[in-house]
Copies of this chain bind each other. A is one copy, B any other.
């Protein structure tokens, strides 16, 4: 479908385009000029044109972009025309937060179950998903077409669980544990390292403090 290799920087920007266009769509906006989109997103209009040209460009001279069309096309590029079945390993606060986030489901990511070792959590419901015991994990993956597993367990258990998940057929891992998972190349891993994000914040805060001292 896409012949050209698209740069990582462009991919990193696409979800943000998608989010802005989704917001415009909610406000029933029909079209937007690249100038307006540029002002909103604080990205140059030429950057926007360049980014979208990677996918054949969707704009029309003198018209701008059709919001609904562009939103749908970027959605397709991002693979959002598919539905994804998700399981969440670890039903603590973070796992529950992910399961409770309705926006994911609206975009096609459906949480099918959570898994935990805690007897108090097992059997409880988070939105429409049940917390199940870890012993049922393999069978559940076999019986349901699970695409993505979110890992929200402590760093000591995360690599072991990830290896099992891959063995049982999981292709995509959304990793929240503060550890890098060394998995086969064909497995897609997306990391959310919260502590590292906080350190970037403290770096920038302390830099600014030193500059003004």
- Chain A 196-208 interface 0/1 with B at a Cβ cutoff of 8 Å (1 = within): 1111111111111
Could you tell me if B16 and A196 are in contact, using CB atoms closer than 8 angstroms?
A: yes
Q: Is A193 an interface residue (CB 8 A)?
A: yes
Question: A199 near B12 (CB under 8 angstroms)?
Answer: no
Known pairs A19-B178, A203-B78, A205-B148; A190 contacts B198 (CB<8 A): yes
State the number of copies, please: 2
Query: Chain A contact residues (Cβ within 8 angstroms of B): what range?
Result: 35 or more
A162 CB to closest chain B CB, in angstroms? 14
Q: Which residue of B lies closest to A150 (CB)?
A: B198
A residues at B contact (CB < 8 Å): 1-2, 11-12, 14-16, 18-19, 41-42, 77-80, 82, 84, 92-94, 96-98, 100-101, 103-104, 107-109, 147-148, 171-172, 174, 178, 180, 182, 186, 188, 190, 192-210
